[in-house]
Amino acid sequence: MLISKLPNVGTTIFTTMSQLAAQTGALNLSQGFPDFDGPDALREAVGRHVMAGHNQYAPMTGLPALRDQVAIKVASLYGRQVSADSEVTITPGATQAIFCAIHAVIRPGDEVIVFDPCYDSYEPAMELAGGLCIHQPLSLPDFTIDWQKLADAITPRTRMIVLNTPHNPSGALIDLADLDRLASLIRDKDIYLLSDEVYEHLVFDGHEHASVLRHEELYQRAFVVSSFGKTYHVTGWKTGYVVAPAALSTELRKVHQYVSFTGVTPLQWALAEFMAAHPEHLSELAGFYQAKRDLFCDLLAESRFSFTRAAGTYFQLADYSEIRPELDDVAMSQWLTREHGVATIPISVFYQTPPAESRLVRFCFAKREETLRQAAERLCAI
Ligand SMILES: Cc1ncc(COP(=O)(O)O)c(C=O)c1O
């Protein structure tokens, strides 16, 4: 009789809602992926590199040209000089990077603090490593860290804290003062940091991304993870990276080498080439997505949903208390999909213990203008 190692894991809500959207023909604002393509020059480069014979294993740590581009970006955006050889590792997606970082340091019995609502891949990775996830809810309504509760949650067994900024699903940001607070809390403790920064370029209204890469003290104990999939509108390429101090990178690579060994070669060539030729892509990204957020929110202002504009990511939360307060968010998401043709994600699925009163659903606005207009029209008609 097979006893599952992950008895609590089933089909994710992202798969369920995307399937329901496909079955019902609803506009899919649920799962986080664009309904438009990445830059032509980037896609064209993949074909060219495939035809040029770049089809065999890339080095285990990633293509040197791509690691160099990551190091150049980290220096120019966050003022940190990292070694492309010993501190940057290319991975097949941020998810794999997260898995490897966790398995590099977590041992049976270790505790890992995550902030709820949190991305769904952290806990299963932790469980498989024998670790225990300690869920600390962010404070509502702004999804901020309760520092006293965090201090209380830290025990001698705490081995890692997982940060995610900009935050999925809320779009909330932490700032540099938060990083200082965190540093003072864990200064004398044997605690690592996993900083999930896959939405690092999607920070709006002139705010700055508080990357752990900016913070000298925290970086020394951190794995900082990002995703080319998010940044270049190619989520299906599943290509990401980790920046971590050499000693941590060495341990992470020991895991990465046996999970996948390396990332997909022609994709790495294409990304390296595109990053070198188009550095402006990064500086234009926040404006590109802010315009989508504003279009969607301006249109939704006519609806009975209430919301505060997302500060980052490509997700917008909306409160539906004035529409169907009697429905929980899972039922509401299904109702919106089936009856009104717009698929969303309920945010309770990102919690261990969802707040009972929460009436929030998440819309993904990484969509073409036409999709956003159609979705808003349907939502305003409710
Ligand atoms: C917070 C967060 N982390 C990690 C990932 C995974 O990124 P990737 O597709 O590169 O594995 C996602 C994707 O939705 C995400 O939202």
Any atom of ligand 1 within 6 Å of the Cβ of 117: no
Best CA proximity match to 224, nearest among 20, 73, 12: 73
Among candidates 88, 104, 105, which has minimal Cα distance to 244? 88
Candidate from 198, 199, 241, 315 with most ligand 1 atoms within 8 A of CB, to mutate = 198
Q: What is the 3-state secondary structure (H, E, C) of 257-317?
A: HHHCCCCCHHHHHHHHHHHHHCCHHHHHHHHHHHHHHHHHHHHHCCCCCECCCCCECCEEE
Q: At residue 8, does pLDDT exceed 90?
A: no
| pLDDT tens by residue, 123-138 | 999 999 999 999 999 9
Segment 287-301, tens digit of pLDDT: 999 999 999 999 999
Rounded to the nearest integer, the mean pLDDT of the chain is 97
H helix intervals, 160-231? 176-186, 216-219, 228-231
Distance CA(293)–CA(311), nearest Å, equals 10
What is the best residue among 168, 195, 233, 347 to mutate for testing ligand 1's pocket, by most ligand atoms within 8 Å of CB? 168
d(CA 369, CA 8): 38
d(CA 196, CA 101): 11
pLDDT one-digit tens code per residue, 129-175: 999 999 999 999 999 999 999 999 999 999 999 999 999 999 999 99
- Give the model's pLDDT for residue 222: 98
Ligand 1 centroid to residue 130 C-alpha, Å:
22
The residue type found at 167 is H
Question: Which CATH code, of 3.40.50.1370, 3.90.1200.10, 3.40.640.10, 3.40.710.10, is assigned to 40-277?
Answer: 3.40.640.10
CATH architecture of 13-38+281-380: Alpha-Beta Complex (3.90)
Sequence ranges of the chain with CATH classification 3.90.1150.10:
13-38+281-380
Whole-number pLDDT of residue 151: 97
User: pTM, whole model, 2 decimals?
Assistant: 0.97
323 has a pLDDT exceeding 90: yes
| Any atom of ligand 1 within 6 Å of the Cβ of 31 | no
pLDDT of the residue at 250: 98
CATH 3.40.640.10 domain position(s) in the chain: 40-277
198-213 pLDDT, tens digit per residue, is: 999 999 999 999 999 9
Q: Which one has a higher pLDDT value, 271 or 10?
A: 271
Whether residue 168 has its Cβ less than 6 Å from ligand 1: yes
